[in-house]
Homo-oligomer: A and B are copies of this chain.
């Protein structure tokens, strides 16, 4: 049975007051070198570890940060979370990962619950929280992947430009009937990607509203709606899916209809998750620098918390085309 020592016991062991032990612990104030050594050896001897909760109570800080994501089962978020965790861990923070299911009340619940635990700050991927809710909480917060408000620090990528590039790329490959499977209307990055798509197709006189459908950022839903679409409009020769999960859904739908990808139909996704490499054909995508986005958001939040000067309150990353088999016949399969 392990007995947990307190600061008092250490103080007694070392023959000093608790204040001195605390000073040694925090490298704060004056401590004689000999005393310091004595205290250190008592700490060692008793295997003393300061009580994080007592410390939190006084400091109103917990060395914990909260990360709220819509759904950990979408592989995009574990990749992001992993990046955040790597940074927070290395700085001595504990990460608390929460699933919101994109639900406003769940997000609020987490915000409330964690604030009561004196969580030092939040990184949130949200489409439902608005500026007022965040400001209400009055706690360091960084938006990730989706911006909340121009005034609130955020890290995301250039969805609009990326979508334009994706669409242009399909055009360059010779596609002339290009469809877009868009994400939910309430998610701003889906809206941006949709806008990028329409701006390019309209510019080319190829825009047709019938070729835009909503896949809800999910594989299952996308399989259904895309099958319908492809049956109704068999002339479609290229599809830009609003994210990689939906691109997989498109691929499934095409497969079920006996369409050859990329020969009959070219598919491009968005996000750059590892899953794109597991399908056959592998999926071409506009890759976001997921890991970098995660670490950037984490660093930004920690800078906020530690009140270092934060230069950039907004960080926008460029996406990059990753060509794979779903668009190019020549690519070895």
**Which A residues are within 8 Å of any B CB, using their own CB?**
1-2, 49-54, 56-57, 62, 64, 72-73, 75, 78-79, 81-82, 85, 94-99, 112-114, 116-118, 136-138, 219, 248, 251-252, 255, 274-275, 278-280, 333
- Is the Cβ of A138 less than 8 Å from the Cβ of B280? no
Cα separation A117 to B1 with both chains bound (whole Å): 19
Closest A-B pairs by Cβ, 4 of them: A52-B116, A72-B78, A97-B97, A53-B56
21 A–B contacts, CB within 8 A, in A order:
A2-B136, A2-B137, A2-B138, A49-B112, A49-B116, A52-B113, A52-B116, A53-B56, A53-B57, A53-B117, A54-B57, A73-B78, A75-B78, A82-B99, A85-B98, A85-B99, A94-B96, A97-B97, A248-B278, A251-B280, A255-B333
Cα separation A73 to B294 with both chains bound (whole Å): 14
Q: In whole Å, how far is A104's beta carbon from the nearest beta carbon of chain B?
A: 16
Known: A94-B113, A117-B52. A73 touches B274 (CB 8 A): yes
Cα separation A325 to B161 with both chains bound (whole Å): 39
- Is the Cβ of A53 less than 8 Å from the Cβ of B99? no
Q: In whole Å, how far is A3's beta carbon from the nearest beta carbon of chain B?
A: 10
Question: Which residues of B sit under 8 angstroms from A57, Cβ to Cβ?
Answer: 51, 53-54, 57
- Is the Cβ of A72 less than 8 Å from the Cβ of B81? yes
Given contacts A49-B116, A52-B113, 5 further A-B contacts (CB under 8 A): A52-B117, A53-B56, A57-B57, A75-B75, A279-B280
Cα separation A79 to B73 with both chains bound (whole Å): 6
Known: A82-B72, A96-B96. A275 touches B274 (CB 8 A): no
Q: In whole Å, how far is A120's beta carbon from the nearest beta carbon of chain B?
A: 12
Cα separation A81 to B96 with both chains bound (whole Å): 13
Q: In whole Å, how far is A91's beta carbon from the nearest beta carbon of chain B?
A: 13
- Is the Cβ of A1 less than 8 Å from the Cβ of B138? yes
Residue of B whose beta carbon sits closest to that of A78? B72
Q: Which of A94, A96, A136, A219 has the largest number of chain B CB atoms within 10 A?
A: A94
Cα separation A62 to B94 with both chains bound (whole Å): 15
Cα separation A228 to B64 with both chains bound (whole Å): 46
Cα separation A95 to B95 with both chains bound (whole Å): 10
